[in-house]
Amino acid sequence: MSNNLPTYLTISTDINRDLSDAIESIAPDKIAVLVDENTRKQCLTLVNIESDLIIAIQSGEKEKTLSTCQQIWSQLTSNGFTRNSLLINLGGGVIGDMGGFASATFKRGMAFINVPTTLLSQVDASIGGKLGVDFEGLKNHIGVFQEPDKVIVYPKFLDTLPKRELKSGFAEVIKHSLIRSESQWDYLKSKAFRELNWEEIIPRSIVIKNEVVNEDPLEKGVRKILNYGHTIGHAIESHFLDSSSPLLHGEAVAWGMILENKIGVEVGKLDQEVSKEIEKYILSIYDLPEKVPDYQSLKNHLLQDKKNDAQGIRFSLLTQVNSCTYDVLIEDVILKKILK
């Protein structure tokens, strides 16, 4: 299994050893570390490396912008960083996506190492080379495809991650299992959430994402199955974004998987029993709001989906555990029926 891990990725049991090995092979002239206030407190304290600069930003998706990149570029510039320097991005998906993008573009590209510290970033955001920032309210609107020089996944960082964030990342683990691994799905179902062994789950989940990405690095075809749960999930996430109780990404995706499965049943692609079993499992883990947001609001968000084309809204739908199809055009009447 470990053969199918990305070549640039190490699963670590000793973060300090693996990080210093990676730094040694890059041999940078200067080192900066990008953190937010939480990863500075919880993760940087576990890391023993000599750096020339700590760049600390505020946590949160709303900071994932070009103006934060500007702060990063300014600090690198005023501290004499060059194209031969290194940025270590220590944090969740926000730090990894944005720090990676800032590195890939600084002086046309300096080295960077991503050290993901959330479950979501360990099993998802760190694999596949997508880097970027949000722009004018549009998620990941500005960015590039580029693999980091190194990704070091140290599951022990999850010890301090708030449980709600852990469960949010877990939605991607469920997704990976459903689209590609019946054995992982069986394993998940066989344990209570608190009994799950992350050291086992994380590498298996990374391998699944990596295999799909390698089959289609630029998302022209099969990589779209990774969007399972995400078409409705993103619409739900956007709907709740400005509410008093926003949902985390994975919570919205978990809900999205339930609703997209219902669409699959409706169009005859998925067995109803399988859909019900998945729904029951997801509802046993997440506290989802009782009511689906109103149809018109969801529809407006669905129309913004990057995967749409002139013909309409396209979905990646599960057809059975272990198998997912993509680019399925769903008619408005069906959407209306399920989402109402």
Ligand X SMILES: NC(=O)c1ccc[n+]([C@@H]2O[C@H](COP(=O)([O-])OP(=O)(O)OC[C@H]3O[C@@H](n4cnc5c(N)ncnc54)[C@H](O)[C@@H]3O)[C@@H](O)[C@H]2O)c1
Q: Give the C-alpha separation, 21 to 335, whole Å.
A: 51
Find the part of the chain contacting ligand X (CB under 6 A) among 86-94, 188-196, 197-205, 281-289.
Answer: 86-94
Q: Give the C-alpha separation, 96 to 108, whole Å.
A: 18
- Our finding on whether 42 is near ligand X (CB under 6 A) is yes
In whole angstroms, how close is the CB of 238 to ligand X at the nearest point? 12
Smaller CB distance to ligand X: residue 253 or 265?
253
- Our finding on whether 161 is near ligand X (CB under 6 A) is yes
- Our finding on whether 219 is near ligand X (CB under 6 A) is no
Q: Which residues in the 239-258 window bind ligand X by CB under 6 A?
A: 249
- Our finding on whether 61 is near ligand X (CB under 6 A) is yes
- Our finding on whether 117 is near ligand X (CB under 6 A) is yes
Helix (H, G, I), strand (E, B) or coil at 262: helix
Find the part of the chain contacting ligand X (CB under 6 A) among 56-64, 258-266, 275-283, 306-314.
Answer: 56-64
Which residues, 6 or more positions from 48, have their beta carbon under 8 angstroms from its beta carbon? 16
Instruction: Tell me the residue ranges of DSSP E strands in the chain.
Output: 9-11, 31-36, 53-57, 86-91, 111-116, 130-135, 138-145, 150-153, 314-320, 323-329
- Our finding on whether 93 is near ligand X (CB under 6 A) is yes
Which tokens sit at 302? 């669905």
Which tokens sit at 12? 């670590």
In whole angstroms, how close is the CB of 185 to ligand X at the nearest point? 20
What φ, ψ does residue 229 adopt, rounded to 5°?
A: 85, -15
What single-letter amino acid sits at 280? K
Which tokens sit at 276? 């019900």
Find the part of the chain contacting ligand X (CB under 6 A) among 114-122, 174-182, 200-208, 303-311.
Answer: 114-122
Q: Which residues in the 292-311 window bind ligand X by CB under 6 A?
A: none
Residue with tokens 């999850």: 158
Q: Given the rule CB under 6 A, which residues bind ligand X? A: 36, 38-39, 42-43, 59, 61, 64, 91-95, 97, 117-118, 120-121, 124-125, 128, 130, 139-140, 157, 160-161, 165, 168, 249
